Amino acid sequence: MQKRESDKNQLISQPEETEDKISEHAMTSDTRLSSEESDKMADELRQINDKYLRLYAEFENYKKRVSKDKEELIKYGNENLIYQLLSVIDSLELALKHASNEDVPAGFMQGVEFTLKELKKILGKFGLSAIDAEGKPFDPSVHHAMTVIERDDIEENTVVEEMRKGYMLQNKVLRPALVTVSKRPAYNTEESEKE
């Protein structure tokens, strides 16, 4: 009988042990699941963080680009107007050049000179400056060669004459100078053989 009671106690204790084992197994599988879920969540968090950082970087670049565009707009906003006014400057300079050759009243000449000087001063405040060309080495970024002339008294690729003034607005070429450029004379091979 004692054996039966011990068997009975064993049977009774076995379900308790089984429940404990099941709950332990469930806890370990829950832990595994939460660990898997944790890894999954960590991956999602990394992806979201990566997206956030990329979006933030794109937004910062956008702000810089907009700021730069705004500065460019302010800096070169008057470009078309100033370009159109260059023909007025050309006309006034041409009037002064021709007036010096003819008999023109001094008051008229002074008026044109004053107008030209004042116009250049005002446009200078907005960043307009003349390109210095004559006697300088030819630079295709600021000079436009109209003709080439052979000269042995001047170094090759030097601006000999300025046909039309060039202008810059801030650091940008608004209109290149039209120039004549020098080159070394091509000596005839027969002449060099005689010498």
What are the mean pLDDT values of the chain's consecutive 10-residue runs (195 residues total)? 51 48 48 73 91 94 93 84 92 85 80 93 92 88 89 85 90 90 72 51
Sheet hosting strand 143-150, strand order edge to edge: 143-150, 177-183, 159-164
> How high is the pLDDT of residue 47?
93
> How high is the pLDDT of residue 3?
53
pTM: 0.60
> How high is the pLDDT of residue 12?
46
> How high is the pLDDT of residue 129?
92
Please tell me the CATH code under which domain 130-195 is placed: 2.30.22.10
The residue ranges of every structural domain in the chain are 1-76, 79-126, 130-195
> How high is the pLDDT of residue 17?
52
CA 144, CA 182: separation in Å to the nearest integer?
Answer: 13
> How high is the pLDDT of residue 168?
93
Alpha carbon of 142 to those of 37, 90, 132, 165, 168: distances in Å? 66, 18, 9, 10, 9
| Strands, E assignment, the chain | 128-131, 143-150, 159-164, 166-169, 172-175, 177-183
> How high is the pLDDT of residue 41?
87
